[in-house]
Amino acid sequence: MNLDGMRTHGTDDIVDVVVVGTGAGGAPLTAELARRGLTVVALEAGRNFALDDLTPDETEAVEINWMSERLSGGDDPTAFGPNNSGRGVGGSTLHWGAFTPRPDARDLRLRTETGEGRDWPLDPAELLSYVARVEGDIGVSGPTPYPWDPDRSYAYGAAARNAPANLVARGCEALGIRYADAPAAVLTRARLQDHHGERRACINCGACHQGCRVDAKATTANTYLPAAVAAGAEIRTGAMVHDIELDARGHVAAVVYRQDGVDVRQRCRSLVLAAGGVETPRLLLHTGVANGSGQVGRNFLAHGATQVWGRFDEPVRGHRGYPSSLITEDMMRPADADFAGGYLVQSLGVMPLTFATTLARGGGLWGRELMARLDQAQSMAGIGINGDCLPSDDNRLELSDETDEFGIPRARVTFTAGPNEKALDRHATAFLLRVMEAAGARETFVLARSAHTIGTARMSTDPADGVVDGDGRSHEVPNLWICDNSVFPSALAANPALTIMALSLRTADRFLASA
């Protein structure tokens, strides 16, 4: 993004707010606080990318991912690297799929509804009003009316269906399952984005996860961050925060980051952490800040993301087109469920290296078997889920004995799917197989997967039971706030980024109201 002419602040200045991270959580709040007249410095570990820096080549596109090693354990270890989080101005929105289902109000009240999981300590209607605001800010396409929420409308017509979407539609049709074009933060006609310029319409190239060179896909780098800079915020790149300094009262006084090998101290009146569901708890555990409850790093959540692939007689070429262009929400509360919560279903297209990695990791394929499958890739279509995940004390992020290039202990994440996740996955796998068979697949196979890093600094009403309150403010350190993936009390079935951005705007309002 264009950072020319950006206002800058001295490190001796006491700025109103330092924000760590410029992704889905950090950027909306940065823009909103700057717009309301606060001095804001956003510190970003990664670099700034121009559209021309992005490439569909999967081997080179990893530059936009967080590739520094994380240790992963448990019975269902989470895959990191490109499957996980981003690094750069825009954070994970540089590589996200821009699939934007809204959070379901029932998921936010799961404990009340089912006795399982947790309720979120906020009003679902209020959160959903912020979701609608985000959709307007970033530009979301989708069907109007939306079958599962007839009052909802989208400003842009849906993205074109790719071949896997057409096949999944055929399967759903045969089984009498409702389906629709998916909501996606992808423009289907050009838009003049305030403070940024023209963003073009999607050309259906399929390279969303490698970064959109057309600017059709919304990232925080083409939406909230240009607005933040126009309002006077400063974004410092290549700035890896590794320390938080508290004053005698136990309030944050400054953060320390390393930039070009040099440690720099930035004083601030308040600190907002938005470094994502792994880096935010890692920083808190490393500095020992805000963890009197012992809850930092606990309740790590990962969405169930099982995929079923089918081989068809006709050529599919699923790497082309917007990858997730079909959705069904019919499984949000299946009548025959033996589990709490539900799952969203989406059609899948995929790039070759990502497919190969998932075949190896989720299907256990290797050598000749893997190569044989890859030879068939052009005639395969996929369907997958995003399934709710309940919090568990044993699934957690801790610091390991190994250190990274900054001398910070690496994160060790332990994740094992519980009985509810397993029951949901059994139901989903059977459902996905039925759809692919009804679509006419000659052969089907299942790839086990999980996705997203959530819940390691959760919101709670009781300070003993979480890290931040329902506003996103630390229970312990009054001028410390968190607004990213880590504050989610439960995973929800919806993919997380829209909810994170909505929470970020809400946290900004709560922050301003508290001043």
Ligand X SMILES: Cc1cc2nc3c(=O)[nH]c(=O)nc-3n(C[C@H](O)[C@H](O)[C@H](O)COP(=O)(O)OP(=O)(O)OC[C@H]3O[C@@H](n4cnc5c(N)ncnc54)[C@H](O)[C@@H]3O)c2cc1C
Does the protein bind ligand SF4 through residue 206 (CB under 6 A)? yes
Q: What is the smallest separation between the CB atom of 255 and ligand X, expressed in angstroms?
A: 9
Q: Strands 307-311, 326-328: parallel, antiparallel or unpaired by DSSP?
A: unpaired
> Among candidates 272, 297, 352, which has minimal Cα distance to 70?
297
Neighbours of 410 (CB within 10 A): 17
290 touches 477 (CB < 8 A): yes
Residue placing its CB nearer to ligand SF4 in the complex, 56 or 124: 56
Q: What is the smallest separation between the CB atom of 176 and ligand X, expressed in angstroms?
A: 27
25 binds, among ligand SF4, ligand X, none (CB under 5 to 8 A by kind): ligand X
281 binds, among ligand SF4, ligand X, none (CB under 5 to 8 A by kind): none
Q: What is the smallest separation between the CB atom of 336 and ligand X, expressed in angstroms?
A: 28
- Point out which residues bind ligand X (CB under 6 A): 20-26, 43-46, 83-88, 91-93, 95-99, 209, 239-241, 274-277, 279, 283, 452, 484-485, 495-498, 500
Residue placing its CB nearer to ligand SF4 in the complex, 355 or 431: 355
> Among candidates 204, 117, 157, which has minimal Cα distance to 388?
117
Q: What is the smallest separation between the CB atom of 21 and ligand SF4, expressed in angstroms?
A: 23
User: Which tokens sit at 425?
Assistant: 């996955």
How far apart CA 30 and CA 22 sit, in angstroms, is 8
**Interface region with ligand SF4, contact rule CB under 6 A, candidates 124-132, 211-219, 446-454, 457-465:** 211-219
204 binds, among ligand SF4, ligand X, none (CB under 5 to 8 A by kind): ligand SF4
Query: Footprint of ligand SF4 on residues 306-365 (CB under 6 A)?
Result: 322
**Interface region with ligand SF4, contact rule CB under 6 A, candidates 205-213, 256-264, 292-300, 331-339:** 205-213
Neighbours of 227 (CB within 10 A): 22
Size of the site for ligand SF4 (CB under 6 A): 13
Neighbour-count burial for 49-79, b at 16+ CB within 10 Å, e otherwise: beeeebebebeebbbbbbebebbbebebbbb
Residue placing its CB nearer to ligand X in the complex, 444 or 495: 495
Residue showing tokens 């394929």: 365
Does the protein bind ligand SF4 through residue 164 (CB under 6 A)? no
127 binds, among ligand X, ligand SF4, none (CB under 5 to 8 A by kind): none
- Which 3 state secondary structure label does DSSP give 57? coil
How far apart CA 424 and CA 361 sit, in angstroms, is 21
How far apart CA 110 and CA 174 sit, in angstroms, is 32
Q: What is the smallest separation between the CB atom of 323 and ligand X, expressed in angstroms?
A: 9
Which residues are 468's β-sheet partners?
459, 474
Binder among 207, 285, 289, 356 for ligand SF4 (CB under 6 A):
207
> Among candidates 465, 480, 418, 125, which has minimal Cα distance to 270?
480
Q: What is the smallest separation between the CB atom of 216 and ligand SF4, expressed in angstroms?
A: 4
Which residues are 236's β-sheet partners?
43
* Site residues (vs ligand SF4, CB under 6 A): 186, 202-208, 212, 214, 216-217, 322
